[in-house]
Amino acid sequence: MADRTESSIHVDAKPGVVLDVIADFEAYPEWAAEVKRVSVLSEEGDGWADRVEYTLDAGVLKDTYTLDYEWDIADDGTGVVSWSLVRAMVLKAMNGSYTIARDKGGSKVTYRLAVDLNIPMLGMLKRKAEQQIVDTALRELKKRAEG
C-alpha cells in the first residue's frame, strides 16, 4: 500500500483556524457531505482526540470505521495531523495526514491519503476514488475555515 494520493490548497485563514476546523470532529457532518456521524471515543490528556469513529456514506462506499490520530502541532497551528485505521468493515487500510503550513497570509494545507479496501478494486479506480476524496475534503475544509 505504498501508493498514496496527495493534493494541496491555499486557505485564506490562519493555521490555527484551519487546525480548529480539523480538530472539531463532531462538526464534520455539517461540512463534510459524506460524513454522516462522528464520535470521539478517546482524547489525549491535552484535549486532542486520540480515537474517532466515523459513519461514512459516499454512495458506493458505506462504512463505519475508527481512526487513531497523532498530533505533531506547534502553538501557531502549523504541523501535521495524521491518522491510521483501527477497524472497519469495508476499509482494510486508511492512512493519511493533513500538513498545515503558513502561506501568503493564510495557510497551505496538504492532504495525503492511502486507502485499501476489503473488496477487489483496480488500482487505477482506487487512486481515482482517493483523488476525489482528497480534493473534496480540501475544498470543503477551505470553505469551512474561510467561512
Domains of the chain: 5-146 (3.30.530.20)
Mean pLDDT rounded to a whole number for the chain: 88
What span, in angstroms and rounded, lies between the C-alpha atoms of 116 and 64? 15
Give start and end residues of each alpha helix (H) in the chain.
15-23, 28-31, 123-146
Residue 125 pLDDT exceeds 70: no
Per-residue pLDDT of 7-30, as tens digits, reads 999 999 999 999 999 999 999 999
Name the grid cell of 16. Answer: 490555527
Q: CB of 62 within 8 A of CB of 41?
A: no
Residue 114 pLDDT exceeds 60: yes
Q: Evaluate if pTM is beyond 0.85.
A: yes
- Give the orientation angle of helix 15-23 with respect to helix 123-146, to 10 degrees: 120
Alpha-carbon Rg of the chain, whole angstroms? 15
What span, in angstroms and rounded, lies between the C-alpha atoms of 22 and 72? 13
Which pLDDT belongs to residue 120? Answer: 62
| DSSP code for 105 | T
User: What is the distance of C-alpha 111 from the center of its chain?
Assistant: 7
Residue 6 pLDDT exceeds 80: yes
Say how many C-beta atoms besides its own lie within 10 A of residue 77's C-beta: 20
